[in-house]
Chains A and B, each alone.
Chain A
Amino acid sequence: MSTGKRIQERDVVIQTIAKLMIPFIQLYGLYVMVGTEGAGGGFQGGTVLAASFILLVVAFGVDKGRMKMPEGWNAVFKSLGLYLYAGVGGLLCIIFSLGKAEYLNYSAIPLAKIIGGPATRGFWVGNVVEVGIGVTVMAAFVSIFYDLVRKEESVKEGGAEE
C-alpha cells in the first residue's frame, strides 16, 4: 500500500523537465516525419512522436496523458493514417486514371498536368504518404502503451484489495 502511494507522488523536477522537453521532441518528430530531404521517414518520426506522449504519461500519470491524447482520438488517428496511404492515394489514382487501375501510381493524379509527373510523386510521397505512416505508428504505439499501463494498474488494485 505504501509503495503505491509513493508512486502516486510526482517529482517536480521530472515534471518541469518533461514540460520543457515535450514540445521540442514533438517538433523534432514532425521534422523527421514530414519532408524528404533530411534523414528518417514516417516510421521514425511516428516513433519519436509516440515517445513524447510516453514521456508525458511517465511524468504526469496516465490520467493526464489520457486527457491530452484521448483514446477515441487515438483510434481515429490509427485508421486515418492508413487511409491517407491506402485509401486517399489509391482512390484518387483509381478515380482519375478512369478505371485503368493505377493503384499507388501517383502520376495519375491531375496535379501531374500542372507540375509534372515526378514532382507530383515527390510531393505526394513526401507530404501525404509519410505523414500517414507516421500518424498510424504514433497512434498504435501510444494505444499499446495505454493498454499496458491500465493492465498494470488493475493488477495493482486487485493486489491491494486482497
Chain B
Amino acid sequence: MKLHLLPTVALLSVILLGAMFMYVVEDIPAFGDSNSPPNKYIELPISIDADGLAGSLDAGVVPAELKTKIEEIGYTKENNFPALEEGKYEIESNDEEGGWDVLILKEEKYYPGPEKWYFIKEDLGGKLKVYRYSIPVRWQEKTEEETGLPNMVTSGLADYRGYDTMYEETVIFTAAISVIMLLRRREKL
C-alpha cells in the first residue's frame, strides 16, 4: 500500500487548525464597546472651584465632589473603569506639569500595581481641570516594562494586538491556498 504522506499531513494540519480556531473563538475577549477606554477623549468636562480642594489632593485624597463629578460622566466600575475607592488609589504631585497624578491599583494577574489614570490641574482661573491619560501615552510609557520589547511598533503588532496579527497571517495563508486551488490544475499539491 502506498502511503500518501503529503495529503495525510495536510488533512491533519487542516483538522488541527480548525480545532485551534474553534478554541480561539471561545477564548477571544469581548470587543466593540464604544465606551471602552481607548475611545474616550482626553480632557474631561469637569471644572470645580479649586479653593480648599488642593490641600486635600496634596494629602492624598480625592475630594468627594470631584469623585461624584467623575462618576457622573460614566467612569464607574459598571462601565469597566477602575473605581476611585478608598485605599485603591495613590496621588502623586506632578511637578513638571504642575498638577497631580492619580494612580489606580490594577487587579490583573500578570501586571498588578498602580497605573496612571487621571491628571488633575489647577488652571489660571482657579478651577480644577481633570484629564484622562490617553492610550498612546500609556503605550509609550509601559511597553518595555510589560512586554520586554524596546520597539513600540513590534509590541503593538505582535503582543497587544496578537489576535489581529494572527488572523492577518491566516488571511495571507488562505489567499495562497486559494490561488493554488484556482490556478494549479495538477494532481500534486
A101-126 CB mask vs B (1 if < 8 Å, else 0) is 10111110000000011111111011
Asked if B183 and A148 make an inter-chain contact with CB atoms under 8 angstroms apart, the answer reads yes
Residues of chain A lying within 8 A (CB to CB) of residue B31:
none
Residues of chain B lying within 8 A (CB to CB) of residue A87:
16-17, 20
Distance in angstroms from A95 CB to nearest chain B CB is 12
A103 is contacted by which of B27, B150, B175, B180 (Cβ under 8 Å)?
B27
Asked if A126 and B169 make an inter-chain contact with CB atoms under 8 angstroms apart, the answer reads no
Asked if B176 and A85 make an inter-chain contact with CB atoms under 8 angstroms apart, the answer reads no
Which chain B residues numbered 1 to 45 have a C-beta less than 8 Å away from chain A? 6, 10, 13, 16-17, 20-21, 23-24, 26-27
Query: Which residue, of A79, A86, A119, A139, has the highest number of chain B Cβ atoms within 10 A?
Result: A86
Residues of chain A lying within 8 A (CB to CB) of residue B179:
143-144, 147
Q: Which of A2-10, A17-25, A58-66, A129-137 contacts B (4 or more CB under 8 A)?
A: A129-137
Cβ-based interface call for A29 (8 A):
no
Asked if A121 and B148 make an inter-chain contact with CB atoms under 8 angstroms apart, the answer reads yes
A82 is contacted by which of B150, B159, B173 (Cβ under 8 Å)?
B173
User: A86 to B110, alpha carbons, bound, how many Å?
Assistant: 21
Asked if B166 and A85 make an inter-chain contact with CB atoms under 8 angstroms apart, the answer reads yes
User: A147 to B166, alpha carbons, bound, how many Å?
Assistant: 25
Asked if B159 and A125 make an inter-chain contact with CB atoms under 8 angstroms apart, the answer reads yes
Which chain A residues numbered 136 to 150 have a C-beta less than 8 Å away from chain B? 136-137, 139-140, 143-144, 147-148, 150
Chain A positions near chain B (C-beta within 8 angstroms):
36-37, 41-42, 71-72, 75, 78-79, 81-83, 85-87, 90, 94, 101, 103-107, 116-123, 125-126, 129-130, 132-133, 136-137, 139-140, 143-144, 147-148, 150-151
Given contacts A122-B147, A147-B180, 5 further A-B contacts (CB under 8 A): A90-B23, A103-B27, A105-B110, A133-B169, A144-B175
